[in-house]
Structure 1
Amino acid sequence: MPQNWPGILGGLPYALVAGVLMVRWTGLISLVLSGVLVIGGVFLVQESRAEREATALAERVAPVRDLIYMIDIPSHREAGRDSSWVVASFEPVDTSGVKVWQERTISLAATRGTLSACGGQTLAVAFGRDEEPACLREGPGLWYLTGKIPKPTWGCFCGLHQYLRQDGGVLISVGASDAVPREVLRRAVLQARHATEADLRRLADPGGQ
């Protein structure tokens, strides 16, 4: 037996404690590293999913990206769009004054093309259409159409009106029956803007916003 065995035995408790602490620290470090790897993996999965969704959304709207417009009408709310998101309808927030279905519905649409003069336009809104409306040029790139439902079969506001605005190579239209004030349509068409990426995400997932 070594002559310094009392010293060796005396240091044994410290060695045991050090060993226990080392095991605990090793386990703790392993746990932390595992957590970091899990969090990093989740982040990468979420980032990859977001990138895929963004790519899919961009591909979906690419053919009509320049035709998707947004308008803000305080008296109305957006009620729906067609599958391309180009044509939209807006219903009144206060429906107490509505007597006939869609008499106060506002229609928004956009088409590629240019309009240099009145004539040859069709006035088409949710409430009805007129193939030969009257046309007034209000200013550069702005036209006002008026018409009526040719053969109404129910009591209604039978007048129709619509604004057209040239925005580059796109013609924006905002119209309704004449139950909706002219100034409401004019203000809406002048303020119409292209949809942002946030707008497109909302249209793609209206319940997720």
Structure 2
Amino acid sequence: MTNAKPVLVGSQLAAAGAVGAVVVPAVSRVMLVAAFGGGAPAFWGVGLAGAVAVATGLAVVARATRDVTVLGSTVAGHVLWAVLVTGLGTAGWALGWSVLETIGYAVHPVWASVLGGIPYALIAGLLLRGWRLSLAACGLTVVLLAAAGMVLHREWPAEFEQRMQLAGVHRETSYAVSIPGYTPTDHDYGDGLGGGGFRPAGSGAVPPDLFITVVAHDVLHQGEAMCGQPTALDARLAWGACTREAGGLIYRHNEVEHGYQVTVGHRYVTVAGDAAVEHAALRAAALSLHPATAAELGGHEQTGEYFAARIPGFAGQVIGIPPGMQYEPVDRAYRGPSSVAVRLSVSYGDGRSVCVRVAECRTEGPGLRYVRREDHHGYAMSRGEVVVQVVGGLRVDPAVLRKAVGEARPATDEELGRALPQLPARTVGDRLRSWLRDRF
């Protein structure tokens, strides 16, 4: 290499670096100003004009330093050099800022300019004549890309805190526990650990919901006849099979519900229950239909739309819309899936508040209380400034709940990371981080 060529190499790399150090930051600021004044069209218009201006200037640099580039001395080669340095350099520049943003470092303007010029200088270095210079630029590029990938792949503390804020989660009240025979339904930390709700692992261990609804419909709104009996268009049991029964009743059933539609005065009253409700209970309800009394309405006004039934083992309450009555088992221990569900919760306090307005509250150890309410029970344990509670439906063994509250512990950051939602991808850097974490 002659004495002039080192000067040309240095001039070419300096000119390319100056684009990232000075020109691109200036253009990006103008783009932001244009966006405030003219919106997206102005933003992208300034960006396109800036890219053309940068590429044109670099083409002039390529021509002046043509003796040190592998793309030769043709005009096409100069343009290609300028386009490659502009495009790939800008990609590297954006990647570098994404890395700094991820780490959360505030960089001095002087160093920001130096760092911003490196990607452009490296791309120019890759296109130099002489394998030693190109190899050096290539090696440095690979090292920087690998370092950037590692930084973007890793979750940094600031990002983790943002995810916790997004989910409304606090470390002090985030606990984890594994309950044998149960599966987490939310706040799943993996490996059977959960920090919220739990359900029995076997589907056969979950009892079905039991409910019967009594709803009246206008006789004028008629749909398809079933066994000769018309069907109110907005009624339940509007599809499926039907069977005539003694006493003039028509039993209707499908894969989801079954029951009766009974004419009471000028109304069609539908008595429907889910598949788990016994046929006999629905028939007894259909035979006992009557306008709901004030006592049965519990303070609601009787508007002529409410009908009630006498169903042994069930208690009713007003529902709407449409207005009607819904009956559930009187036995609070039988509440469908909720009767076998378990929930872990943590709150601030000294533990005494858990005994307010409960059916039963007794102390069973230092800081440990058993609490029973109308349809669930469980244990509360005081741990410093927080109270850990594990409660379940009345069909859950108290020993299971006591063991769980004793074994509950603060969740680790790794466990929390499995359950926390990801931050929304607002920028190209966010999408790149998401892509890296999904694949590596």
- TM category, shorter: 0.5 to 0.7
Letter in 2 for 1:120: V
Greater gyration radius = 2
**Any unmatched runs of 5+ in structure 1?**
1-21, 82-86, 122-131, 150-159
| Change over 3 Å in CA distance of 1:33–1:95 after alignment to 2 | same
Contact map agreement 1:103 1:179 (CA 8 A) in 2: yes
Match of 1:165 in 2: 381
Match of 2:144 in 1: 37
Letter in 2 for 1:57: R
- 1:177 paired with 2:393, answer yes
| Change over 3 Å in CA distance of 1:135–1:56 after alignment to 2 | same
Match of 1:134 in 2: 360
The counterpart of 1:98, out of the listed 191, 202, 206, is 206
1:78-110 per-position Cα deviation (integer Å, ceiling 9, x unaligned): 1015xxxxx721111112122222221101112
Q: Which has the higher contact order (CA 8 A, sep 6+)?
A: 1
| Change over 3 Å in CA distance of 1:38–1:56 after alignment to 2 | same
- 1:25 paired with 2:241, answer no
Q: Which moved more, 1:100-109 or 1:32-41?
A: 32-41
What is the rounded CA distance, in whole Å, between the counterparts of 2:204 and 2:168 in structure 1? 40
1:105-135 per-position Cα deviation (integer Å, ceiling 9, x unaligned): 10111221113598425xxxxxxxxxx3211
- 1:108 paired with 2:361, answer no
| Change over 3 Å in CA distance of 1:96–1:53 after alignment to 2 | same
What is the rounded CA distance, in whole Å, between the counterparts of 2:179 and 2:421 in structure 1? 22
The counterpart of 1:191, out of the listed 391, 402, 407, is 407
RMSD, matched Cα: 3.1
Letter in 2 for 1:101: P
Query: Residue 29 of structure 1 aligns to a residue in which SS?
Result: helix
- Greater per-residue strand proportion: 1
Contact map agreement 1:144 1:164 (CA 8 A) in 2: yes
What is the rounded CA distance, in whole Å, between the counterparts of 1:69 and 1:89 in structure 2? 12
The count of residues paired between Structure 1 and Structure 2 equals: 162
Shift of residue 173 of structure 1?
Answer: 1.1
TM-score by length of 2: 0.33
What is the rounded CA distance, in whole Å, between the counterparts of 1:52 and 1:28 in structure 2? 37
Shift of residue 58 of structure 1?
Answer: 5.4
Contact map agreement 1:118 1:137 (CA 8 A) in 2: no
Contact map agreement 2:167 2:420 (CA 8 A) in 1: no
Match of 1:16 in 2: none
Equivalences for residues 41-52 of structure 1 within 5 A: 41-46=148-153, 50-52=156-158
Match of 1:15 in 2: none
Report sequence identity in percent. 24
TM-score by length of 1: 0.65
- Greater per-residue helix proportion: 2
Letter in 2 for 1:140: P
The counterpart of 1:148, out of the listed 368, 374, 385, is 374
Shift of residue 40 of structure 1?
Answer: 3.0
**Any unmatched runs of 5+ in structure 2?**
1-128, 188-194, 208-335, 423-437
Contact map agreement 2:167 2:421 (CA 8 A) in 1: no
What is the rounded CA distance, in whole Å, between the counterparts of 1:36 and 1:139 in structure 2? 59
